[in-house]
Structure 1
Amino acid sequence: MRYLVLAILLVTFFTACNSKEESEKAKKTVVKKEPIIKEYGFTFNDFKVVRDTIRSGDTFGKLLEKYPLKDSLRIHDVTEKVKDSFNVRRIKAGKPYIMFLDKKKPNTLQALVYIEDRINFTVVDFRDSIVVSNKQKPTTLKRRVVAAEIEGSLSETLSNAGVSAGLANKLANIYAYTVDFFKIQKGDKFAVTINERYIDDSIYVGVESIEASYFEHKGKKIFAFPYKLSENQKYEDFYDENGKGLKSMFLKAPLDYFRISSRFSGRRFHPVQMRFKAHNGTDYAAPHGTPIKTTASGVVERTGYTAGNGNFVKVRHSSTYSTQYLHMSKISVRNGQRVSQGQVIGKVGSTGLATGPHVCYRFWKNGVQVDPLRLKLPNAEPMNESHKQKYLAHIAPLKKELDSITAVKFKE
Structure 2
Amino acid sequence: MVTVLGAHKILTSVEDARHDRQPLDTVLVPLDANASPGVPSLSLDREPVAKAIQVASRAMDATREPVPLSRLAASEIVDLDLIETARARPALASAEGDDAQREAMGTASSPLEEDARHMAIVLGTLASGMLASNERLVADATSYEEVSEDELELFDEGPILFEEEIAASEPYVPEWQTYTVQPGDTFAIMAQQHLGMGYSEVMTLLEAMPEPRLLTHWRVGNHFEYQLDAKGELLALRLMKNARDGYLVERGEQGVDVATIERAGEATQRLFAGTVSGSFARSAQATGLTSAEVAELAHVLEKKLDFRRDTRRGDRFQVLVESDIIDGESLDPRVLAVNYDGARMDLTLVRNGEDNRFYTPDGASLDPAFDRRPFAGHYRLSSPFNPRRHHPVTGRISPHKGTDFAMPSGTPVTAPADGRVEKVGNHPAAGRYIVVRHDNGYKTRYLHLSRPMVNRGDRVTRGERIALSGNTGRSTGPHLHYEVLVNNRQVDAMKVELPESQSLSGDALVAFQRQAEPVLAALQSGETGTTVASTEAEVSDSDDES
Distance in 1 separating the partners of 2:442 and 2:315: 36
SS for the counterpart of 1:265 is: coil
Contact 2:177 2:227 (C-alpha < 8 Å) held by counterparts: no
Contact 2:434 2:446 (C-alpha < 8 Å) held by counterparts: yes
Residue from 299, 311, 314 that aligns with 2:435: 314
Q: How does 1:91-102 map to 2 (within 5 A)?
A: 91=214, 93=217, 96-98=222-224
Whichever residue aligns with residue 272 of structure 2, its letter is V
Instruction: Give yes or no for the alignment of 1:224 onto 2:345.
Output: no
Contact 1:294 1:345 (C-alpha < 8 Å) held by counterparts: yes
Residue from 347, 359, 377 that aligns with 2:468: 347
User: 1:193 aligns to what?
Assistant: 320
User: 1:365 aligns to what?
Assistant: 486
Aligned-pair CA distance for 1:123: 5.1
User: 2:288 aligns to what?
Assistant: 162
User: 2:180 aligns to what?
Assistant: 50
Distance in 2 separating the partners of 1:156 and 1:280: 40
Go from structure 1 to structure 2 and tell me whether the alpha carbon gap of 1:62 and 1:215 turns closer, same or farther (over 3 Å shift): farther
SS for the counterpart of 2:399 is: strand
User: 1:208 aligns to what?
Assistant: 333
Contact 2:437 2:444 (C-alpha < 8 Å) held by counterparts: yes
Contact 1:166 1:207 (C-alpha < 8 Å) held by counterparts: no
Q: How does 1:14-53 map to 2 (within 5 A)?
A: 42=176, 49-52=179-182
Aligned-pair CA distance for 1:134: 5.0
Go from structure 1 to structure 2 and tell me whether the alpha carbon gap of 1:118 and 1:80 turns closer, same or farther (over 3 Å shift): same
Aligned-pair CA distance for 1:169: 0.9
Aligned-pair CA distance for 1:191: 1.5
Distance in 2 separating the partners of 1:52 and 1:127: 28
Go from structure 1 to structure 2 and tell me whether the alpha carbon gap of 1:307 and 1:111 turns closer, same or farther (over 3 Å shift): closer
Aligned-pair CA distance for 1:371: 0.8
Instruction: Give yes or no for the alignment of 1:74 onto 2:194.
Output: no
More strand, by proportion: 1
Distance in 1 separating the partners of 2:207 and 2:358: 40
Contact 1:329 1:347 (C-alpha < 8 Å) held by counterparts: yes
Distance in 2 separating the partners of 1:368 and 1:127: 60
Residue from 282, 296, 304 that aligns with 1:178: 304
Give unpaired runs (5+ residues) of structure 2: 1-174, 528-533, 536-546
SS for the counterpart of 1:301 is: strand
Aligned-pair CA distance for 1:397: 3.2
Contact 1:53 1:94 (C-alpha < 8 Å) held by counterparts: no
Contact 1:216 1:222 (C-alpha < 8 Å) held by counterparts: yes
User: 2:364 aligns to what?
Assistant: 244
Q: Which has the larger radius of gyration?
A: 2
Distance in 1 separating the partners of 2:428 and 2:252: 59
Contact 1:281 1:361 (C-alpha < 8 Å) held by counterparts: yes
Go from structure 1 to structure 2 and tell me whether the alpha carbon gap of 1:145 and 1:353 turns closer, same or farther (over 3 Å shift): same
Aligned length: 348
Whichever residue aligns with residue 396 of structure 1, its letter is E
User: 2:212 aligns to what?
Assistant: 89
SS for the counterpart of 2:501 is: coil
Give unpaired runs (5+ residues) of structure 1: 1-40
Q: Deviations over 1:189-221 (max 9, x none)?
A: 221222243334xx2425633332212344322
SS for the counterpart of 1:214 is: strand
Q: Which 4+ residue blocks in structure 1 deviate beyond 6 angstroms? A: 81-84, 99-102, 107-111, 125-133
Go from structure 1 to structure 2 and tell me whether the alpha carbon gap of 1:273 and 1:242 turns closer, same or farther (over 3 Å shift): farther
Aligned-pair CA distance for 1:174: 1.6
User: 1:144 aligns to what?
Assistant: 270
Distance in 2 separating the partners of 1:213 and 1:280: 40
Distance in 2 separating the partners of 1:328 and 1:272: 24
Instruction: Give the percent of matched residue pairs that are identical in Structure 1 and Structure 2.
Output: 26
Distance in 1 separating the partners of 2:269 and 2:189: 44
Contact 2:272 2:288 (C-alpha < 8 Å) held by counterparts: no
Go from structure 1 to structure 2 and tell me whether the alpha carbon gap of 1:315 and 1:158 turns closer, same or farther (over 3 Å shift): same
Q: Deviations over 1:149-174 (max 9, x none)?
A: 22334444344433323211111122
Q: 247-256 or 365-374, which moves further after superposition? A: 247-256
Q: TM-score when scaled to structure 1?
A: 0.70
Distance in 2 separating the partners of 1:218 and 1:302: 49
Distance in 2 separating the partners of 1:138 and 1:280: 48
Go from structure 1 to structure 2 and tell me whether the alpha carbon gap of 1:131 and 1:297 turns closer, same or farther (over 3 Å shift): closer
User: 1:292 aligns to what?
Assistant: 413
Distance in 1 separating the partners of 2:183 and 2:348: 45
Aligned-pair CA distance for 1:261: 2.4
SS for the counterpart of 1:279 is: coil
User: 1:327 aligns to what?
Assistant: 448
Contact 1:257 1:286 (C-alpha < 8 Å) held by counterparts: no
CA RMSD of aligned residues (A): 3.9
Go from structure 1 to structure 2 and tell me whether the alpha carbon gap of 1:172 and 1:378 turns closer, same or farther (over 3 Å shift): farther
SS for the counterpart of 1:225 is: strand
Instruction: Give yes or no for the alignment of 1:64 onto 2:191.
Output: yes
Contact 1:265 1:278 (C-alpha < 8 Å) held by counterparts: yes
